[in-house]
Chain A
């Protein structure tokens, strides 16, 4: 049942998908393995871009754009700023005990195997991919849904962001000593 891409007769889309997936996984790994946090951050940016590529591939342009703005733009800048603020480099990283690494690898393998086994075992019924032909993911449609059906959560998201902003300011404010 599982649709295995036939590389010999791969379509363009398939090639792009494989390429993007490869980049995503590799950069994700590199993010974790690079000793220098700055490098990690840069790999992560690449990873995010590739994920944005997946979004484009799935024809959800709006999300791709938002993703790039939020993740690659805002979040990663925050990361970078923080790293630089703390002046982190590879020397500061403490050498970890072997048992930790072992544990990490074990859990990685375990959860990977379990999840994949579950997926395979659950015998997904993947029929024909239907296409209603309707427009379901243009910005217009999304905007309507967002401000119609999801009006209240949308407002709450703004409140959440506001609160997060205030919280951040409060947290990063230097406490006045001896007061």
Chain B
């Protein structure tokens, strides 16, 4: 029964994918969209069933299908593990996935390749489910690379534009750098414990005496590099903003709500490994904090509505890693969930705006959309309040817990995180003010066509906004349902349960004030003073550096890509020809010897005979006289 449920869960999206690939075109746009949506919705229903089962029994379900790869000291099954963590992930992956599928039916309706879009989305859900429910690291890796592939396909969905293709390629390759780290981490773990299975690994580590801790730390570090690639942390974050080239639902689903949280999922899944590698945990925390700050600063000056949201995503992911670095896995998971709600809502809202403006993404050409698109405005406002940490919205609780954890472990990181939060509030409201308030700054024609999107677009928005508002309820401070639910996963005793004391309330107050401060600055700057960001040429000074994302792309190009390319040219033009010449040189040497030797053949019989006689003498005397 469990096996069947798991198989239905995984295979329905795959079936949807296959149907859409082979018959999508002939079925028509609406039908193919419906098939895609229903496939994911079925998975969602199954997830809910599994969730019920797990909450009632409190035990995970293990499903083993068959042997996959045999390696001498480890046997890798193709199997699934459905426990609290994976089912939680499943719920919001399939749940938000269904909503976004629904949304896409309307959003992508003008695209001639809509059936393909749904095929890819279904394939993505399939791989994401595989990633989440895999019972060992290698099955996770199937999903891990699979979602990377879907991300590649969907970023480059409009494949006629080579810039988009570049972005897609970049995403795939950067992810692969992380994947190599993940692989190496797997190798180390595999050779240390002879297993890649989570359950076995957990018992092996718990039961192991005198562990080789440095090696384990190295493994953890490698795994973290993998997480960096997928979850867009420094130094592998630059692909995510570029990934906004894809259609907006993709940005919402893959590059905000689900795929990018895979790194957090993996770290949480392997918490027993990371708990032992305390050095690596510090590294994670520091990188998380820096990422969140750097991305937030870049987000301050971006003018592309989706880029702002992209950097905001990177920044929020950084906060989650900050929490992971302190071993506060449940806090990170909590933020993943709330973030999924409000960020998906924000992206879908921005998609609605872009849809309304027929592809316009630059905020400098927006404004005053509040009246034309009220539902979009209100849902986005709610989500912005949530992400800014305004009290009683979901983001408030989760972000506050992260900062609280940070405060308990490291004041500097807490400060960095708080600054990033203030900036978040600022740029989110900058976005809101520039987009929805004041007068419309676009062309007359666009203005003429301004309209609220259809119900297929607004319904998911409303649902997500509701979730963004009340999502915080699953883990209220001091009375956390989530912590209890996830408790069986973690080895650590939940001794650090925060008592709500003065410190906590003070910190909460500070966070709220900070958020409000950010909103206030944005209000003053972009509503009162009616500033509009300068056009590209007029950006100077620090903002130019920020606007150009600290020139990180250029630096990467100069440091990694360009040398490899010139090395390639050098190899092609010199080494290859050189080696080839060396081989031909051998032939030429033989040729030359022959040419020189040919001169000995004078054709003069007398000379031949003379030499012959000499040779005869030499041989005969050697044979008879040498002894």
A interface residues, Cβ below 8 angstroms from B: 100, 103-104, 107, 110-111, 114-115, 117-118, 121-122
A104 to B609, CA, bound (A): 10
Question: Given the interface contacts A100-B606, A103-B606, A118-B620, does A111 sit within 8 Å of B613 by beta carbon?
Answer: yes
Q: Is the interface of A mostly helix, strand, loop or mixed?
A: helix
Nearest B residue (CB) for A122: B624
Chain B interface, DSSP helix/strand/loop, else mixed: helix
Once the chains are docked, how many angstroms separate the CA of A110 from the CA of B616? 10
B562 within 8 A of A: no
Beyond contacts A110-B613, A111-B613, A118-B621: 12 other A-B pairs, Cβ-Cβ < 8 A, are A100-B606, A103-B606, A104-B610, A107-B609, A107-B610, A107-B614, A111-B616, A111-B617, A114-B620, A117-B621, A121-B624, A122-B624
Is B594's CB within 8 Å of the partner chain A?
no
Residues of chain A with a CB closer than 8 A to B620's CB: 114-115, 118
Which residues does chain B contribute within 8 Å of A104, judged by CB atoms?
A: 610
Asked if B625 is an interface residue, CB under 8 A from chain A, the answer is: yes
Q: Which residues of A contact B617 (CB under 8 A)?
A: 110-111, 114
**Chain B residues within 8 Å of A103, by CB:** 606, 610
CB neighbours of B613 from chain A (8 A): 107, 110-111
Complex: A74 Cα to B606 Cα, angstroms: 28
A111 to B620, CA, bound (A): 10
Query: In the docked arrangement, what's the CA distance between A100 and B616, Å?
Result: 19
A118 contacts B625, CB within 8 Å? yes
Some 27 contacts from A to B, beta carbons below 8 A apart, are A100-B606, A103-B606, A103-B610, A104-B610, A107-B609, A107-B610, A107-B613, A107-B614, A110-B613, A110-B614, A110-B617, A111-B613, A111-B616, A111-B617, A114-B617, A114-B620, A114-B621, A115-B620, A117-B621, A117-B625, A118-B620, A118-B621, A118-B624, A118-B625, A121-B624, A121-B625, A122-B624
Residue of A nearest to B613 (CB): A107
Chain B, 595-627, CB within 8 A of any chain A CB = 606, 609-610, 613-614, 616-617, 620-621, 624-625
- A121 partner residues in chain B, CB cutoff 8 A: 624-625
Shortest beta-carbon distance, A16 to chain B, in Å? 32
Closest-CB distance, A37 to chain B (whole angstroms): 18
Whose C-beta in chain B lies nearest to the C-beta of A114?
B617
Give Cα A116 to B316, complex, Å.
106
* A60→B44 CA distance, assembly (Å): 119
Cα A100 to Cα B609 in complex, Å, equals 11
Residues of B close to A117: CB separation below 8 A: 621, 625
The 10 A-B residue pairs with the shortest CB-CB distance in the complex, in nearest-first order: A107-B613, A118-B624, A103-B610, A114-B617, A110-B617, A114-B621, A111-B613, A107-B610, A111-B617, A100-B606
> How far apart are B342's CB and chain A's nearest CB, in angstroms?
105
Chain B residues near A118: list those with CB within 8 A. Answer: 620-621, 624-625
A154 to B620, CA, bound (A): 32
**CB nearest to B620 among chain A residues:** A114
Which residue of chain B has the shortest Cβ distance to A100 in the bound complex? B606
User: A107 — nearest CB in chain B belongs to which residue?
Assistant: B613
Give the shortest distance, in Å, between B340 (CB) and chain A (any CB).
Answer: 101
Query: In whole angstroms, how far apart are the Cα atoms of A114 and B613 in the complex?
Result: 11
A100, A107, A117, A122 interface centre (most CB from chain B within 10 Å)? A107
For residue B494, give the distance in angstroms from its CB to the closest CB of chain A. 106
B558 CB to nearest chain A CB (Å): 73
Q: Which residue of A lies closest to B604 (CB)?
A: A100
**Quick one: closest A residue to B616, CB to CB?**
A111
A123–B625 alpha-carbon span in the complex (Å): 12
For B609, the chain A residues whose CB sits under 8 A away are 107
A6, chain B: closest CB distance, angstroms: 30
Q: How far is the CA of A104 from the CA of B613 in the complex (A)?
A: 10
Cβ-closest chain B residue relative to A115: B620
A121 and B620 alpha carbons, distance in the complex (Å): 13
Smallest CB-CB separation from B621: which chain A residue?
Answer: A114
Report the Cα distance A16→B617, complex, angstroms: 33
**CA A26 – CA B614 in complex, angstroms?**
25
Q: Give the distance to chain A from B605, nearest Cβ to Cβ, in Å.
A: 11
Q: How far, in angstroms, from A115 to B624 measured CA to CA in the complex?
A: 10
Q: For window 538-576 of chain B, which residues contact chain A by CB distance below 8 Å?
A: none
Residue of A nearest to B624 (CB): A118
Nearest-CB distance from B602 to chain A (Å)? 13
Q: How long is the Cα–Cα vector from A2 to B625 in the complex, in angstroms?
A: 19
Query: Complex Cα distance A107/B614, Å?
Result: 7
Complex CA gap A153/B81 in Å reads 92
B625 contacts which chain A residues (CB < 8 A)?
117-118, 121
Inter-chain contacts of B614 with A (CB < 8 A): 107, 110
Nearest CB to that of B618 among chain A residues?
A114
Q: Which residues of B contact A100 (CB under 8 A)?
A: 606
Tell me the bound Cα distance from A117 to B623 in angstroms: 13
A107 CB contacts on chain B under 8 angstroms = 609-610, 613-614
Which of chain B's residues have a CB closer than 8 A to the CB of A110? 613-614, 617
Separation of A114 and B621 alpha carbons in the complex (Å):
7
Minimum distance in angstroms from B619 CB to a CB of chain A: 10
Cα distance A144–B625 in the bound complex, in angstroms: 41
Shortest B609–chain A CB gap in Å is 8
Report the Cα distance A107→B617, complex, angstroms: 9
CB distance from B144 to the nearest CB of A (A): 84
The distance from the CB of B611 to the nearest CB of chain A, in whole angstroms, is 10
Residues of A within 8 A of B621 (CB): 114, 117-118
Instruction: For the complex, give the distance between the alpha carbons of A122 and B609 in Å.
Output: 27
Residue of A nearest to B610 (CB): A103
Expressed in whole angstroms, the minimum distance between the Cβ of B196 and any Cβ of chain A is 81
B19 to chain A, nearest CB (A): 84
A110 to B620, alpha carbons, bound, how many Å?
12
Bound form: Cα–Cα A155–B609 in Å: 34
Contacts of A111 in B (CB 8 A): 613, 616-617
State the CA gap A122–B625 with chains docked (Å): 9
Which residues of chain A are near B606, meaning CB under 8 Å? Answer: 100, 103
Minimal beta-carbon separation of A58 from chain B (angstroms): 27
B330 vs chain A, min Cβ distance (A):
103
Question: How many Å from the CB of A117 to the closest CB on chain B?
Answer: 7
Nearest-CB distance from A55 to chain B (Å)?
27
- In the bound complex, CA of A117 to CA of B620 (Å): 11
* A50, chain B: closest CB distance, angstroms: 26
In the assembled complex, how far is the CB of residue B36 from the closest CB belonging to chain A, in whole angstroms?
89
Interface residue ranges of B24-38 to A (CB < 8 Å) = none
CB nearest neighbor in B for A108: B613
Tell me the bound Cα distance from A103 to B609 in angstroms. Answer: 10
Measured in the bound complex, the distance between the Cα atoms of B581 and A126 in whole Å is 66
Query: How far in angstroms is the closest Cβ of chain B from A48?
Result: 23
Q: How far is the CA of A118 from the CA of B623 in the complex (A)?
A: 10
CA gap between A117 and B609 in the complex, in Å:
22
Instruction: Flag B344-369 by CB within 8 Å of A: 1 or 0 each.
Output: 00000000000000000000000000
Q: Closest CB of chain A to B617's CB: distance in Å?
A: 5
Bound together, the chains give a CA A117 to CA B613 distance in angstroms of 16
Q: Which residue of B lies closest to A96 (CB)?
A: B606
Contacts of A115 in B (CB 8 A): 620
Q: Which residue of B lies closest to A97 (CB)?
A: B606
Q: In the docked arrangement, what's the CA distance between A118 and B622, Å?
A: 10
What is the bound-complex CA distance between A117 and B624, given in angstroms? 9
Residue of B at shortest CB range from A106?
Answer: B610
8 A Cβ contacts from B361-413 to A: none
Bound-state CA distance A133–B609 (Å) is 44
